[in-house]
Amino acid sequence: MQSALYVSLSAQVSLEKRLETIANNMANMKTTAFRADAVKFETALSRAASQPVAFATPGDNFISRAAGSVTQTGNNLDVAVVGNSWMGFTGPSGPVYTRDGRMQISSTGELQTITGYPVLDAGGTPIIVDPDAGPLTISRNGTISQGTNEVGMLGLFEIAADAKLARFANSGVVPDRGATAVVDFINTGFQQGYVEGSNVDPLSEMTQLMTATRAFQSVSSLIESSEGTMQNAIRTLGEPSKS
């Protein structure tokens, strides 16, 4: 009886975390280049009881790498990443990678993210352009030109498929190992004048929200039933025997 109660409580913890994740995804449906959170659930086998009991763990969050939809803006300082690669910028504690290609030029000519962080070239160095030399033209491989002059090259980076990603702000990620610069632009590159949106699928999230809510309610009912059965058993066992 106690095992059933503990299993139900562990399920509630898992479902609560899933509901929080869905809520965060839904709140960022319109966030540029946002990567949805998902939860990977496992079971932990407890052998404390006479029979093994499987408990649901709270779950591990991971960041989905699925691409979002691309929208044309016509802004020459916007780029969308084609393929599975990432742009890089210098964050407070080192390199951060993103699919948010909205950029700006500072008064000193530094190419920055829309939030003011220096955008990196393939060697991990901030990019400097001439703020008075006219608009930028950015080719598929990231080459930046002003008129007929090549003035820099946007860095494009690959993150290992098995690398764990930590979230930075809304659309940045920090992998647990170093990213490598892309040198082959056949399957990846930049598309100037476009931005990538969130990869949150509203229909899928709504379906998961309803499923998780129903499951949470079912588990709550099971817990109430288990508690009632346990209280009845205590009352029955506690009654004095009639001689």
pLDDT of residue 17: 81
- 224 or 136, greater pLDDT: 136
pLDDT of residue 58: 57
- CA pair distance 98, 163, nearest whole angstrom: 15
pLDDT of residue 54: 52
Reading the block at residue 50, the tokens are 């006479």
Residue 51 pLDDT > 90: no
pLDDT of residue 46: 47
Residues 6+ apart with CB under 8 A from 175: 97, 159, 160, 163, 164, 165, 166
Give the mean pLDDT of the chain.
85
Lowest mean pLDDT among 4-18, 113-127, 144-158, 183-197: 4-18
> From residue 58, how far is each of 31, 41, 42, 111 by CA, in Å?
27, 7, 8, 41
Query: Do 237 and 72 meet the contact criterion of CB atoms below 8 Å apart?
Result: no
Query: Do 101 and 190 meet the contact criterion of CB atoms below 8 Å apart?
Result: yes
pLDDT in tens, 65-87: 999 999 999 999 999 999 999 99
pLDDT of residue 59: 59
Q: Which residues is 97 bridged to in the sheet?
A: 88, 173
Lowest mean pLDDT among 48-57, 178-187, 206-215: 48-57
pLDDT of residue 1: 45
Domain boundaries, the chain: 1-64, 70-196
Q: What is the dihedral of CA 43, 46, 52, 56, to 10 degrees?
A: -30
What average pLDDT score do residues 156-164 get?
97
Rounded percentage of the chain residues whose pLDDT exceeds 90: 65
Rounded percentage of the chain residues whose pLDDT exceeds 70: 76
Q: What's the predicted TM-score (pTM) here?
A: 0.79
pLDDT of residue 188: 97
- CA pair distance 228, 38, nearest whole angstrom: 35
